[in-house]
């Protein structure tokens, strides 16, 4: 029996229901119950779902949903506060485990990573990945196999939970052709609606669409890029370089809407000063300020402007953020505010 030819594969590793799974590990009594993690864990307060267990997802609860709506759908769900420190610690163990497999590991978030693997049997290697992560952490993962990062990432969703799925140039259209454009990595609901307005609703239609027409509607760079991902094309390498944040942000959801815009400005200044502390800790100056607002009931907008010069100056940063408040709709009540500072590159 001949040995399969070794070749390069990209594997995408995604921890199943990661945050909820960590909480179940900490409290095994939660196993099998609908668990919702978000905010301070109080569904009577304003906040959104960070993640939901599979048992909760069966009721239509998912990331980004207001906690109050989740509580109405599952009154007897277990609601827990976000514990970022715990999730980060477990994530570190997962990534260190992947690095022991002697492959290039690109960390893509708390709960996912890309691997650059040379093997003749990618499914067997994927099972090795799953078993190594399970042994080290008690967590299950799904693994997508592809001939590039895009196809590996999409394949992971097709194999969930605890599954392995291969998606390559050979089966791309057979598997993806009739699926919605929203099933592609990089296309969200808003872009999907814009494409649908052009008569492009499926992956096959996107792949066949004219680059010129897409560019005219979606921009000279983004339009053709969407067509490429419709064809499953992705040339980006798997890189082990440490991910470096381009920005830091802080935001606050108010339990009661802000109606006095003097209070809005004061809150924006406060958030700006807090984010300034984060960038000082990295020794990277602010180069752009963005203010995020969510009007009641749930309508989100952002506005931004560059700093005149890179700076750590707290007054300048707060003044610039406050100036952006003038661009907002002062006739509306405010549910959430956020401030983001983009930073100079690391030295």
The verdict on whether 112 is a catalytic residue reads yes
Q: What is the pLDDT of residue 3?
A: 67
For 144-155, give one letter per residue: b (16+ CB within 10 A) or e.
Answer: bbbbbbbbbbbb
DSSP string, 166-183: EE-TTTHHHHHTTSBGGG
Query: Smallest Cα–Cα separation from 294: which of 269, 257, 342?
Result: 257
Q: What is the pLDDT of residue 241?
A: 85
**Given 23, 55, 106, 112, which residue is catalytic?**
112
Q: What is the pLDDT of residue 7?
A: 93
User: How many angstroms separate the most distant Cα atoms in the chain?
Assistant: 77
- Per-residue CA distances from 73 to 21, 70, 160 (Å): 21, 5, 24
- Per-residue CA distances from 277 to 78, 272, 315 (Å): 34, 9, 12
Residue 207 contacts residue 213 (beta carbons within 8 Å): no
Residue 63 contacts residue 49 (beta carbons within 8 Å): yes
Number of CB atoms found within 10 A of residue 106's CB: 22
Burial class (CB in 10 A: 0-12, 13-18, 19+), 99: middle
Question: Quick one: DSSP state of residue 322?
Answer: H
Q: What is the pLDDT of residue 23?
A: 96
Q: How far is CA 53 from the centre of its chain?
A: 17
Question: What domains does the chain contain, in order, with CATH numbers?
Answer: 1-168 (3.30.70.270), 177-230 (1.10.150.20), 247-343 (3.30.1490.100)
Cis amide bond preceding 22, omega within 30: no
Q: What is the pLDDT of residue 254?
A: 93
DSSP string, 210-239: -HHHHHHHH-TTHHHHHHHHHTT---PPP-
Q: What is the pLDDT of residue 192?
A: 94
Question: Quick one: DSSP state of residue 23?
Answer: H
DSSP string, 246-295: SEEEEEEEEEEEE--HHHHHHHHHHHHHHHHHHHHHHT--EEEEEEEEEE
Query: Rounded to the nearest 5°, which phi and psi values hold at 211?
Result: -60, -35
- Per-residue CA distances from 84 to 54, 157, 206, 266, 276 (Å): 20, 24, 38, 27, 20
Element (H, E) at 340: strand 334-343
Question: Digits of tens for pLDDT over the chain (347 positions)?
Answer: 566 788 999 999 999 999 999 999 999 999 999 999 999 999 999 888 999 999 999 999 999 899 999 999 999 999 999 999 999 999 999 999 999 999 999 999 889 999 999 999 999 999 999 999 999 999 999 999 999 999 999 999 999 999 999 999 999 999 999 999 999 999 998 899 999 999 999 999 999 999 998 999 889 999 999 999 999 999 999 999 877 889 999 999 999 999 999 999 999 999 999 999 999 999 999 999 999 999 998 899 999 999 999 999 999 999 999 999 999 999 999 999 999 999 999 87
Helix (H, G, I), strand (E, B) or coil at 318: helix
């Amino acid at each position: 029996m001949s040995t399969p030819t070794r070749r390069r594969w990209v594997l995408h590793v995604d921890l199943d229901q990661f945050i909820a799974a960590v909480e179940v590990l900490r409290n095994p009594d939660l196993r099998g119950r609908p668990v919702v993690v978000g905010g301070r864990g109080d569904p009577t307060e304003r906040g959104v779902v960070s993640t939901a267990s599979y048992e909760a997802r069966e009721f239509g609860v998912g990331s980004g949903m207001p906690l109050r709506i989740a509580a109405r759908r599952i009154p007897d769900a277990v609601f827990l506060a976000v514990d970022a420190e715990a999730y980060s610690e477990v994530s570190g163990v997962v990534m260190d485990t992947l690095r022991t497999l002697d492959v290039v590991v690109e960390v893509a978030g708390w709960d996912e990573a890309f691997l650059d693997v040379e093997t003749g049997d990618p499914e067997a290697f994927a099972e090795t990945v799953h078993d190594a992560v399970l042994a080290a952490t008690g967590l299950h993962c799904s693994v997508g196999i592809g001939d590039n990062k895009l196809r590996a990432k999409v394949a992971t969703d097709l194999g969930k939970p605890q599954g392995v799925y291969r998606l390559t140039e050979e089966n791309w259209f057979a598997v993806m052709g009739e699926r919605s454009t929203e099933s592609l990595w990089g296309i969200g609901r808003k872009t999907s609606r814009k494409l649908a307005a052009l008569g492009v609703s499926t992956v096959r239609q996107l792949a066949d669409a004219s680059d010129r027409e897409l560019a005219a509607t979606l921009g000279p760079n983004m339009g053709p890029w969407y067509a490429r991902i419709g064809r499953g094309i992705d040339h980006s390498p798997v890189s082990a370089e440490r991910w470096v944040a381009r920005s830091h942000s802080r935001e606050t959801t108010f339990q009661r809407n802000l109606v006095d815009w003097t209070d809005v400005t004061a809150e924006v200044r406060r958030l700006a000063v807090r984010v300034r502390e984060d960038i000082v800790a990295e020794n990277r100056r602010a180069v752009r300020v963005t203010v995020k607002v969510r009007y009641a009931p749930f309508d989100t907008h952002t506005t931004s402007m560059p700093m005149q010069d890179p700076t750590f100056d707290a007054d300048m940063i707060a003044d610039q953020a406050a100036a952006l408040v003038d661009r907002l709709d002062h006739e509306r009540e405010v549910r959430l505010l956020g401030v983001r500072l983009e930073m100079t590159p690391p030295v």
